[in-house]
Amino acid sequence: MSAAATLTAPWRGLSRTVWILVVARAVNRIGAFTLPFLGVVLTVEFGASLARTGLILAVFGAATIPSRLLGGQLADRLGRRGTIVLGLTGCAIAQLWIALSHTLWSAVFATILLGLAFEIYEPPSQAMIADVTDPANRPAAYGLYSAALAAAGVLAGLLAAALSHWDLRWLFVADAITCLSCAALVALALPDLQRVKAHTTSAVAVWRDRRLLLLLAGGTIFATIYMQIIIGLPLTLVEQGLPKSGIGIILAISAVTLIAAQRLLRVQHLGDFQSIAVGYVLLAVGLVVCAIAANLAVFVIAAILWSLGDLFLLTRYLTQASGLAPDQARGRYLAVFGLSWGIATTIAPLTVTQLLERTGPTGLWLTSAAVAVVLAGLQPWFRKRLAPA
* pLDDT average per 10 residues of sequence, the chain (389 residues): 51 80 81 71 83 80 87 88 94 94 94 91 88 84 81 74 73 89 90 60 71 92 90 84 78 81 66 90 96 92 93 87 81 86 82 88 95 96 81
Phi-psi region of 101 (alpha: psi -120 to 50; beta: other; left: phi over 0): beta
- pLDDT (0 to 100) of residue 33: 65
Residue 147 lies in a domain: yes
Are 179 and 95 a contacting pair, CB within 8 Å?
yes
Number of C-beta neighbours around residue 354 at 10 A: 11
Please tell me whether residues 211 and 163 are part of one structural domain: no
Please tell me whether residues 173 and 230 are part of one structural domain: no
Domain end: 163, 190, 217, which one?
190
Residue 28 lies in a domain: yes
- pLDDT (0 to 100) of residue 171: 82
Please tell me whether residues 289 and 378 are part of one structural domain: yes
Residue 159 lies in a domain: yes
Please tell me whether residues 148 and 210 are part of one structural domain: no
Q: At what angle do helices 296-324 and 210-239 cross, to 10 degrees?
A: 170
How far is residue 91's CA from residue 85's CA, in Å, rounded to a whole number? Answer: 10
Inter-CA distances, 336 with 25, 142, 198, 203, 325, Å: 21, 17, 16, 10, 11
- pLDDT (0 to 100) of residue 285: 97
Please tell me whether residues 186 and 209 are part of one structural domain: no
Residue 3 lies in a domain: no
The total of structural domains in the chain comes to: 2
Are 237 and 244 a contacting pair, CB within 8 Å?
yes
- pLDDT (0 to 100) of residue 87: 93
Please tell me whether residues 78 and 24 are part of one structural domain: yes
Residue closest to 110 by CA, chosen among 92, 123, 122: 92
CATH number at residue 241: 1.20.1250.20
Please tell me whether residues 158 and 258 are part of one structural domain: no
Residue 195: phi and psi, rounded to 5, are -85, 140
Please tell me whether residues 164 and 27 are part of one structural domain: yes
pTM of the model: 0.78
Instruction: Please enumerate in sequence order all residues whose Cβ is within 8 A of that of 137, keeping only pairs 6 or more positions apart, or say none.
Output: 13, 14
- pLDDT (0 to 100) of residue 379: 94
Domain end: 190, 218, 245, which one?
190
Please tell me whether residues 181 and 228 are part of one structural domain: no
Please tell me whether residues 122 and 220 are part of one structural domain: no
- pLDDT (0 to 100) of residue 144: 83
Please tell me whether residues 57 and 182 are part of one structural domain: yes
Please tell me whether residues 229 and 342 are part of one structural domain: yes
- pLDDT (0 to 100) of residue 240: 85
- pLDDT (0 to 100) of residue 40: 76
- pLDDT (0 to 100) of residue 84: 92
Are 240 and 294 a contacting pair, CB within 8 Å?
yes
Domain end: 190, 219, 247, which one?
190
Which range of residues forms the domain containing residue 49? 16-190
